[in-house]
Amino acid sequence: MTAIEQIAAIEAEARASLAAAGDDGALAAWQSGVFGKGGSLTGILRGLGALAPEERKAVGAAANLAKQALEAALAERRDALKAASLAASAADALDVTLPGRPLRRGRLHPVTQVRREILDIFARLGFATVEGPEVELDEYNFGRLRIPEHHPARDMWDTFWLDEEVDGRQPLLLRTHTSPMQIRHIDTHEPPIRVAVPGRCYRYEATDATHEWMLEQVELLAIDEGLSLANLKGTLQEFARQMFGPERRVLMRNSYFPFVEPGVELAVDCFACPGDNPACPVCRGAGWLEIMGAGMVHPEIIAAAGYDPERYTGFAAGMGVERITMLKFGITDIRDLHANDLRFLSQF
């Protein structure tokens, strides 16, 4: 084999082993195997001196060409390995530039928003918030509110009854209003009393645009010396002003509830019609939507709790939170509130 053939063989062999070198360590070993002290190409270059002058020129030129070509091949291989390793680490790396998936923000149910607003207004007027049981004794829901068994006023509040008993006491029912908390509260607290009682109530009701079988109420109870109907009226007017704004008209007219004397109800002018449309689902042409019953606490209830009704008087009110929500947001059908349709609920 001539020296030129030998150089070609070394180059071919070096190119093959370079292609097999897969990391920096292998590249360094290859480099010293070719260009190092005892390297294959170094051996040829070293032997040049022993050659005849004309042969030395040709072999030297071929050896230098081979050296340059192998150096270029090494640089190329190093770049290729680097690019491959970058691509591999990018493949399993976290791409921090990818935009996140947006979180859908929830919101409070419109009835919750309005309940909180009602309680905030009454808190500013000095009423503390307290709560009572939804499963109630007949005695508190009716009896002690002066609605004895077989009294026609029971027809106003038909409900769901339970077979269970609590501490041997029966009958139990789902409360029809928050008024039983009037009795529970005066039994356990001394005047002056000023409380607001939010909570769910249940009625055996034929539902329509303004009636549901489950409703929320907020009960108000104030007992003190010297309270009169004027205090009730002032409190409710201030509530209506803060809740609905000064431009909305409020009507107070007399009504009957066995546990108050005198009894009134509060209505707000209809938002859904000019007040004269008999087909209006909200007011049926009456022009007003009733939002609460109220009145002066019956003296017999104050006396039954152990207080002198000549000295202590009080007022109470029970308002429908869904009805107030309807007025507040212009909702024409109460049944939409608990139908759980997000397309409806997310508007408020």
Q: Which residues make up the interface to ligand FA5 (CB under 6 A)? A: 156, 177, 179, 203, 205, 211-212, 215, 217, 257, 260, 263, 290-295, 316-320, 322-323, 334
Q: Identify which of residues 185 and 323 has a Cβ nearer to ligand FA5 in the complex.
A: 323
Q: 37: which residues sit within 8 A by CB, 6+ positions away? A: none
Strand ranges (DSSP E) for the chain?
A: 128-129, 135-137, 161-162, 172-174, 193-202, 214-225, 250-255, 260-269, 288-297, 312-320
Catalytic residue among 62, 218, 250, 260: 260
Query: How many CA atoms, within 13 angstroms, populate the side-chain half-sphere of residue 266?
Result: 25
Report in angstroms how near the CB of residue 263 gets to ligand FA5 at its nearest.
6
Report in angstroms how near the CB of residue 343 gets to ligand FA5 at its nearest.
23
Catalytic residue status for 217: yes
Question: What residue number has its CB nearest to ligand FA5?
Answer: 320
Catalytic residue status for 237: no
Report in angstroms how near the CB of residue 221 gets to ligand FA5 at its nearest.
8
φ, ψ (nearest 5 deg) of residue 127: -100, 125
Q: 185: which residues sit within 8 A by CB, 6+ positions away? A: 130, 193, 195, 197, 221
Catalytic residue status for 31: no
Catalytic residue among 77, 144, 175, 203: 203
Catalytic residue among 177, 185, 298, 323: 177
d(CA 219, CA 314): 13
Q: Identify which of residues 41 and 197 has a Cβ nearer to ligand FA5 in the complex.
A: 197
* Class of residue 329 by CB neighbours under 10 A (exposed 0-12, middle 13-18, buried 19+): middle
φ, ψ (nearest 5 deg) of residue 174: -80, 125
Report in angstroms how near the CB of residue 332 gets to ligand FA5 at its nearest.
14
Catalytic residue among 157, 250, 267, 297: 157
Catalytic residue status for 157: yes
Catalytic residue status for 303: no
Q: Identify which of residues 44 and 221 has a Cβ nearer to ligand FA5 in the complex.
A: 221
Catalytic residue among 3, 66, 144, 217: 217
d(CA 127, CA 119): 8
Report in angstroms how near the CB of residue 178 gets to ligand FA5 at its nearest.
7
Query: How many CA atoms, within 13 angstroms, populate the side-chain half-sphere of residue 9?
Result: 8
Q: Identify which of residues 34 and 215 has a Cβ nearer to ligand FA5 in the complex.
A: 215
Q: Identify which of residues 30 and 122 has a Cβ nearer to ligand FA5 in the complex.
A: 122
Catalytic residue status for 347: no
Whether 135 contacts 170, CB under 8 Å: no
Cis peptide bond upstream of 171, omega within 30: yes
- Active-site residues: which are they? 157, 177, 203, 217, 260, 316
